[in-house]
Chains A and B, each alone.
Chain A
Amino acid sequence: MGGVKVHLRNPSRTIEHPGPVSIVALLQKLEVNRESVLVIRGGTLVPGDALLADDDEVEIRPVISGGAA
């Protein structure tokens, strides 16, 4: 029995957060700007108001690319 598994990138790591927690609250807690990420679960997007429960697994994927040309 674990919390919500959250995969993050740059650097790549996995953390656990106690559920239930909404996406909005989770991102706030991690100090991630919502404009710069997507939350993905099982190949689809998780809307901001969704509640994550213990044992859920999500990826927080940054969407900002850096190329200047």
Chain B
Amino acid sequence: MKCRVCRGPAVIDIRRHNANFCVDHFLRLCRDQVTKAIAEFSMLERGDRVLVAVSGGKDSLALWDLLRELGYEADGLYIGLGIGGYSDRSGEAVKAFAQERGWPLQVIDLRDEFDYDVPTAAKVTKRVPCSACGLSKRHLFDKAALDGGYDAVATGHNLDDEAAVLFGNTLRWQTEYLARQMPVLPARHGFPRKVKPLVSLGEREMAAYCVLRGIDYIVEECPMAAGNKHLGYKEALNEIEARSPGSKHAFYFGFLARAAERFRDAAPDGPEESGLGLCTRCGAPSTNELCAFCHLVERSAGAEPVVLTTKGAR
């Protein structure tokens, strides 16, 4: 296997590009893809201060590294979700990563600061864990970004994530979600700009990037994810990709270029468009007296903690 660029020994093949790359040219490809995505979708400008949502997994640590490499002032925010040993180990991975590089990392622990954790909130509110988790993360990232004066929140969603979400939304024609599935969401009153600079890089490329950059990410998966629909969609798409390389990319970028626009009217109005108020507790935009996050905290705080077994929540 030879590098497409320099003909030196290649370490990775990317079938979607029908090409192989050596270490240096693969790392360059990753940086170029991120630079291109940032420019194409107007995600960031030179000198922007970016808050990176880091989980300890490959995508978010690679994203933080890439944004720094590209010269952005990027700081990390880690949220301790209280998902048993998985959270303990991911927290350690993030802290070690930040410390080694001397990059600023903010840590918010749900149990310490709000007296709940994701498994308990999921049980008490009868939400699936990823829903309670996503709600908590979105709220806290938004708030931290606004409080800290950041220009944008960046998340590590990669091409496989976006293609899988699109696949799920399309299977059920969830037009209101299709309307919002963009790689950049502009800032609105009370919400920071949100960007996904890794949308043109696949999951396998992000793991490879970490290995080649010596990034010690947590390979272990969140136990809450086991068997969820999202994973099933990814597997299905990878089957298709194996037979027809480039399918995931064509599916997602074709949607952005030729279909997304048609769903725009299906987007529900945000709180400020519908002229509604602010959460009485935290000041976030909200249609109710309490925003969804404060409502979740209100119900979950102090509830008897769910104990995780190796099989997941009990």
Do A and B bind? yes
Q: Which A residues fall within an 8 A CB radius of B?
A: 9-10, 33-38, 40, 43-49, 61-69
Instruction: Encode B1-16 as 1/0 by CB contact (under 8 A) with A.
Output: 1000000011111010
* B211 adjacent to A49 (CB under 8 Å): no
Dominant SS among interface residues on chain A: loop
Question: How long is the Cα–Cα vector from A35 to B234 in the complex, in angstroms?
Answer: 11
Say whether A35 contacts B11, CB under 8 Å. no
Chain A residues lying within 8 Å of B203, measured Cβ to Cβ, are 36, 63-65
Q: How far is the CB of B122 from chain A (nearest CB, A)?
A: 12
Residue of B nearest to A9 (CB): B219
11 contacts across the A-B interface (CB closer than 8 A) = A35-B15, A35-B238, A36-B235, A36-B238, A45-B212, A48-B1, A63-B207, A65-B225, A67-B230, A68-B134, A68-B230
C-alpha gap A61/B208 in the complex (Å): 10
Q: Is B107 an interface residue (CB 8 A)?
A: no
Question: In whole angstroms, what is the CA distance A68 to B133 when docked?
Answer: 9
* Chain B interface helix/strand/loop/mixed: helix
Q: How big is chain B's contact interface, by range?
A: 35 or more
Q: Which of B58, B131, B228, B242 contacts A66 (CB 8 A)?
A: B228
Establish whether residues B228 and A68, one from each chain, have CB atoms under 8 Å apart when the complex forms: yes
Which 10 residue pairs spanning A and B have beta carbons closest together? A69-B134, A66-B225, A68-B230, A63-B207, A45-B11, A66-B231, A68-B130, A47-B1, A35-B238, A63-B204
Q: Once the chains are docked, how many angstroms separate the CA of A65 from the CA of B208?
A: 14
Q: Tell me, in angstroms, the Cα distance from A48 to B212 when the chains sit together.
A: 16
- Asked if B222 CB lies within 8 Å of chain A CBs, one says yes
Give the most central of B133, B204, B234: most A CB within 10 Å. Answer: B204
Binary contact readout B211-254 vs A (1 if CB under 8 angstroms, 0 otherwise)? 11010000101100110111100110011011000000000000
